[in-house]
Structure 1
Amino acid sequence: MDNHNQHSLSLQVNEDVQLKLLEERHSTAYYELTDRNRRYLREWMGWLDEERSVEQTCEYIAMRLQQYIQHQGFLLGIYYQQRLVGSIGLHALDWSKRKGEIGYWLDAGTQRQGVMTDACRALTTYAFDEYQLNKVEIHCGVGNLRSRRIPERLGYKLEGIVRQNEWLYDHYIDHAIYGMLAGEWDAEKTFR
C-alpha cells in the first residue's frame, strides 16, 4: 500500500494524458465539464441529478477526498493536453477481499483517441502495484458498448451480467461485470 498524503496523487499516463487528484479548487471546471456533457452522460450515468450546482460538485469532490485520506478510494481528473476532459476513480474498495472497482467518464468530444483506455491501463497498474489489490472490476451498462470496449481491450474477463443492477432515472439497466486479477495483469500486452 502506498503512503500518501492529501492532494499528492498524480499519474503521467503518456505525453498527452495525466491523471490528477480532483480537489475542491477544481469544482467549477469539473461542474462545467459535467454540465456540457449532461445530455450525453444521462444515457448511462445515474448520478447527474445529484450534481446540479458548483456547490454540490464541491461537496462531492470533498467527500471523495475524504475517501482518499481514509484509503477508501479516490477520484482523479483526466487531463488531455492540459485540459480537464473527464474523471476516473477507484471506489468500492473491499480490503478484506483486496478488491476495488474502476469507474470513469469522458467528454464526448475527446472520445475515440485512446484516452480512456490509456487512463484505465494506468489506473489498473496503480491499483495492483500501489494498493496491492488482488482484483479490479469495471461495471458497465450492458448496452454501453463504447464503455465495454475499454475493459475488453485491456484483457479484462467478462464475469457475468447482473440483471437490473442500476436504476437509471426511469428504468433499470443490466450491468456487464468485468474482472482482472493481479496475477493476470500485463499492461504491456494490452491493446491500444
Structure 2
Amino acid sequence: MKPILMEFPTEFYSERLHMRMPQPGDGKTVYEAINVSIEELKPWLPFAQKEQSLGEVEANIREAHTQFLKREDLRFLVFHKETGEFIASSGLHRINWEIPKFEIGYWIDSRHSGNGYITEAVKGISDFAFQELNANRVEIRCDARNKRSRAVPERLGFELEGVLKNDSLAEDGSQLRDTCIYAKLNK
C-alpha cells in the first residue's frame, strides 16, 4: 500500500499532553517558543542557527502539514491537555515505510523544561509508531554531548546501539560531534 493511502489518527493524547499534526496558523505559537528558547536550542538544532521571521516559521508549519498528509514526515506539535499551551515539537522523521522505521526528534519551549513533558511526548509518539503504524524500529539520534536529550531514550528503555564518532559538524560548525543512536524494536 502506498503510504499516502494509509489511514491513522492525526492527533492523540497522553496523561498530560495533546499531540497533533501542525495546522496552518500554528506558526505564531511556534515562532514565540523558538524565540524564547533560542539559546538552549542553538547548540543542537540547525533551524536555531539563524533568526527566522514569523513568515518563515509559518511556511515551515504549512510544509510540515503537507508532509504529514503525504506521509513523508509526521511532525506533532505538543500542547498541554488542560491549558492548551504549546509545550514542544516532536515527531516521526526519516521514515522508511518498507521496514517500517522512524526516527523521533524533539525540542521543547524552554519555559516548560524539567517537567518530564518531552519524555511523556516521546513515549506517546513511540507508542503511536508501534501501535498505529506497525513500526518495527524507532530510533532516537542525538549529539553525544547533549545530556538532557540523551536522558530521554535512556529513561524510556531505548537501547544505545552505538556512537558514531566524528559523525557530523556541530550545528555552529565549530567542531566535529559524535552521534548516539538509540533504538527500540517491536517485539
- Kindly report which structure 2 residues correspond to 1:98-137, keeping only aligned pairs within 5 A, or say none: 98-137=100-139
Over aligned residues, Cα RMSD in angstroms? 1.7
| Percent identity over paired residues | 26
Partner of 1:3: 7
Kindly provide the CA deviation profile for residues 22-46 of structure 1, in whole angstroms up to 9, marking residues without a partner as x: 1121101101110111111102112
Q: Secondary structure at the match of 1:25?
A: coil
The residue type equivalent to 2:164 in the other structure is: V
**Counterpart contact for 1:90–1:103, Cα < 8 Å:** yes
Shift of 1:66: 1.9
Distance 1:74 1:113, change over 3 A: same
**Counterpart contact for 1:50–1:56, Cα < 8 Å:** no
Shift of 1:51: 5.9
Partner of 2:180: 176
Partner of 2:154: 152
Question: TM-score, normalised to structure 1's length?
Answer: 0.87
Q: How many pairs align? A: 179
Residues 1:87 and 2:95 are matched in the alignment: no
Shift of 1:110: 1.2
> Aligned partners of 1:92, 1:107: CA distance in 2, in Å?
23
Shift of 1:60: 1.3
Partner of 2:57: 57
**Counterpart contact for 2:43–2:172, Cα < 8 Å:** no
Residues 1:48 and 2:55 are matched in the alignment: no
**Structure 2 gaps, min length 5:** none
Distance 1:74 1:51, change over 3 A: farther
Kindly provide the CA deviation profile for residues 145-186 of structure 1, in whole angstroms up to 9, marking residues without a partner as x: 111111011100001111233331223321101000011xxx
**Structure 1 gaps, min length 5:** 184-192
Residues 1:67 and 2:67 are matched in the alignment: yes
Partner of 1:189: none
Partner of 1:20: 20
Misfit runs of 4+, over 6 Å: none
